[in-house]
Amino acid sequence: MLKMTEIKKVFRTDLVETHALRDFNLHVDEGDFVAVTGPSGSGKTTFLNIAGLLETFEGGSYQLDGEDVSHLNDKQRSQMRNEKIGFIFQSFNLIPDLDLFDNVDVPLRYRGFNAPERRKRIEQSLDLVGLANRMKHLPSQLSGGQQQRVAIARALAGEPRFLLADEPTGNLDSKMANSVMSLLQDINDRGTTIVMVTHDQELARQAKRNIYVRDGKVSELHEVSELPDAVTA
Amino acid sequence: MLEIGPIFRALMRNKVGAILIAIQIAITMTIIVNAVFIIYERSQKMQRESGIDEANSFYLSSAGFAESFNAKVSIKEDLAALRQLPGVANAIQINAIPISGGGWSMGLQTQAGAEYDGVGVAVYMVDEHGVDTLDLEIIAGENFSPSDIGWRETAQRLWPDKIIITKSMAEALFPDDPFETAVGKTVFINDTEPMVITGIIDKLQAPWVGWDRVENAMLSPENLNYESTRYFIRAEPGQRDSVMKNVEEFLAESNTGRIIRSMRSIEETRERSYRGDSAMIKILTTVMIILTVVTALGIVGLASFSVNRRKKQIGTRRALGASQGAILRYFMLENFLISSVGVFLGAALTVGLNVLLVNQFDLDPIDWFYIPIGMVILWIVGQLAVFGPAKKAANIAPAIATRTV
């Protein structure tokens, strides 16, 4: 599903070069649920941005769903994001002036679905996250957990094969975090591949596989059952 | 896919800025459309032809002051000599200058009697050279002959028995008949004095450019036995300026018992007469430009503010699959919707202001097509103004969606 080989990413200013990723290698199979952990500044977000085609990279190769993405132009990358990737952000990133229906509708419009098809998908995905009865509410009228559920509904409405979650429970209390995590596991059980970046080791343990990133490299790769105490602490 | 519905609903939830811009667009359109209409009317007025050869004609005043000054003799000698000067096509004495702002007017009526209303007419007293000197065309009837020309004394009230009138005057006097049938008909001046129309000229404007009957004029076959008088001279094409100099020197030297003054070309006279209209056009044009720029800047300001405020939203849209073109279209469409509210409101206000101007200042009602043209122009201004901020929005990187600050 996702295959990164020797990926490099350097951020440059006039004075400094920062190697955010160095020879980054990762292979994620279809149906996998991978948690990416690591300290601040380790390169987790850069990895997520490159994996989600939000940023370009400078060396190595990246194949997403069997397609080499290194030569895609901006429009093709946008289209691939829209069709194959669902995003869940730490701050939910809902559009405050749009109600839940219109928020979930955003990626579907870019996909070019007709109105009945969009309505069906919006209703189904909001129903899946338990918010079908609040379609006309604004994000500000919901709790943090509910807002993240709407963001998940938005990510799922296009039926992507690959879900990228950036600290999906980072802004939630533990009860809501567990609820969102359980929803992600359900989604994964239905066959959607998930890569989740998180600081939370407890949360990471609920994924099928963990990788630990340090200094822009994958330093450890574990099945959850093999996680050492040092990593999970 | 166009996002009219979501954009409109989002605007409705956050409408203060949009409403202010829409009102600004409406006011701008109201003022611009009415201003353009006024400018067009003034331009049309300024472009009207006077009927005379403006490029090659000029005039001057001659005022006798010496005790020995004999006006009749002086005028005869002056005209005879002027017509012989090199570069002079023809010259006449005249009582008033077309489009100069000052002249004589009378009323002509088709029936004798004080109970009948006359039609206002500008009076030009000229001899048989008048038609040629003024470069007029007789389209019916005939010119004056030398024997028709009389001398008008300063206190004289009686009028000659022949006149030549403009086509417009003929149509005003006899609205139901073809203009050429006016030749040979008798009209009355001073209620009861008969005058026979012996000729029709195509065009000659009155001295007063703001008069609503500016096309009504008549030639009366007279020289004026006045010590202070005017000469109207038409030069050969392209020689006006040199002829003006020569004429002034000649007249000054030929008779030292009078002074020559107020020599002016017709082109200068036109410029002076329409100076108010010209100033009005400049002022309105300046106001239009300023208003348009201010409105465009307002749109740029609102759009830029909106882009800066929504950077993360834009990044999120990009992350969710929006292409740069889709983001560009989003902001262009948003502005189009705001502008649409503005221009439709502006259309209503334009009509309202025009009704007010028509009632208060006697302007003509605005032609209907000014309104859709104004709407389209304001739409275009809006789209041009928002293009820069929209392009900036389209360039926002999708990675901004994952930034937490």
How many CB atoms within 10 Å of residue A148?
A: 29
Claim to verify: residue B340 and residue B211 sit in the same structural domain? no
Average per-residue pLDDT for chain B: 93
Tell me the mean pLDDT in the region B291-306.
92
Helix-strand-coil percent breakdown of chain A, rounded to 5?
40, 25, 35
Which of B256, B285, B316 delimits the end of a domain? B256
Give CA–CA dist A67/A143, Å, rounded: 39
- Which pLDDT score is estimated for B17? 86
**What residues of A are in the B interface, CB distance below 8 Å?**
45, 48-49, 52-55, 74-75, 78-79, 81-83, 87, 89-91, 93, 95, 97-99, 102, 105-107, 109-112, 138, 154, 158, 166
pLDDT above 90 covers a percentage of chain B that reads 87
Mutate to test the interface with B, among A110, A113, A135 (most CBs of B within 10 A): A110
Q: Which residue of A has its CA nearest to B397?
A: A54
Residue A189: C-alpha distances to residues A182, A184, B84 (Å): 10, 9, 113
Which residues have a Cβ under 8 Å from the Cβ of B389 and sit 6 or more positions away? B300, B303, B304, B306, B307, B331
Tell me the mean pLDDT in the region A159-168.
91
Claim to verify: residue B208 and residue B300 sit in the same structural domain? no
Tell me the mean pLDDT in the region B21-25.
93
- Which pLDDT score is estimated for B95? 96
Q: What is the pLDDT of residues B258-289, one digit of tens each?
A: 999 989 999 999 999 999 999 999 999 999 99
Residue B390 near residue B299, CB atoms below 8 Å: no
Residue ranges making up the domain that contains B133: 70-256
Q: What is the pLDDT of residues A216-231, one digit of tens each?
A: 888 876 665 555 444 4
Cβ A97–B1 below 8 Å, yes or no?
Answer: no
Claim to verify: residue B101 and residue B215 sit in the same structural domain? yes
- Which pLDDT score is estimated for B78? 95
Q: What is the pLDDT of residues B369-401, one digit of tens each?
A: 999 999 999 999 999 999 999 999 999 999 999
Which residues from B are below 8 Å from A54, CB to CB?
318-319, 397-399, 401-402
- Of the two residues B122 and A220, the one the predictor is more confident about is B122
- Which pLDDT score is estimated for B226? 94
Claim to verify: residue B140 and residue B186 sit in the same structural domain? yes
Q: What is the pLDDT of residues B179-199, one digit of tens each?
A: 999 999 999 999 999 999 999
- Which pLDDT score is estimated for A48? 93
- Of the two residues B216 and A205, the one the predictor is more confident about is B216
Q: Give how many domains chain B has, as a whole number.
A: 2
- Which pLDDT score is estimated for A225? 56
- Which pLDDT score is estimated for B312? 93
- Minimal C-alpha gap between B364 and chain A (Å): 47
- Which pLDDT score is estimated for B325? 95
Q: What is the pLDDT of residues A120-157, one digit of tens each?
A: 999 999 998 999 999 999 999 999 989 999 999 999 89
B405 pLDDT above the threshold of 60? no
Which residues from A are below 8 Å from B14, CB to CB?
97
Tell me the mean pLDDT in the region B149-168.
93
Claim to verify: residue B19 and residue B88 sit in the same structural domain? no
Task: Name the architecture of domain A2-232.
Answer: 3-Layer(aba) Sandwich (3.40)
Beta carbon pairs, A and B, within 8 Å: 92
Which of B256, B291, B317 delimits the end of a domain? B256
Cβ A49–B402 below 8 Å, yes or no?
Answer: yes
Claim to verify: residue B195 and residue B86 sit in the same structural domain? yes
Q: What is the pLDDT of residues B56-100, one digit of tens each?
A: 999 999 999 988 889 999 999 999 999 999 999 999 999 999 999
- The beta strand positions in B236-270, using DSSP E, are 258-265
- Which pLDDT score is estimated for A14? 84
Claim to verify: residue B155 and residue B184 sit in the same structural domain? yes
Tell me the mean pLDDT in the region B31-39.
92
Residue A118 near residue A188, CB atoms below 8 Å: no
Tokens for B328? Answer: 């560009």
- When pLDDT is cut at 50, 70 and 90, the band that residue A233 belongs to is very low
- Which pLDDT score is estimated for A15? 84
Claim to verify: residue B147 and residue B38 sit in the same structural domain? no
- Minimal C-alpha gap between B275 and chain A (Å): 55
Q: Which residue of A has its CA nearest to B7?
A: A98
Claim to verify: residue B325 and residue B212 sit in the same structural domain? no
Q: Which residue of A has its CA nearest to B405?
A: A91
- When pLDDT is cut at 50, 70 and 90, the band that residue B364 belongs to is confident
Claim to verify: residue B247 and residue B284 sit in the same structural domain? no
B162 pLDDT above the threshold of 90? yes
Edge-to-edge, what's the strand order for the sheet holding B57-64? B88-94, B228-235, B57-64, B258-265
3-class DSSP assignment, residue B324: helix
Tell me the mean pLDDT in the region A84-103.
93
- Minimal C-alpha gap between A155 and chain B (Å): 8
Mutate to test the interface with B, among A89, A137, A197 (most CBs of B within 10 A): A89
Claim to verify: residue B193 and residue B332 sit in the same structural domain? no
Is B209 inside any structural domain? yes
- Which among A78, A83, A138 has the least Cβ separation from residue B318? A78
Give CA–CA dist B299/B203, Å, rounded: 50
- Which pLDDT score is estimated for A221? 65
What are the sequence ranges of the domains in chain A? 2-232
Claim to verify: residue B182 and residue B238 sit in the same structural domain? yes
**What residues of B are in the A interface, CB distance below 8 Å?**
1, 3, 5-6, 9-10, 13-14, 312-313, 316-326, 397-399, 401-402, 404
- Which pLDDT score is estimated for B1? 57
Residue B82: C-alpha distances to residues A175, A218, B234, B254, B292 (Å): 111, 107, 10, 11, 55
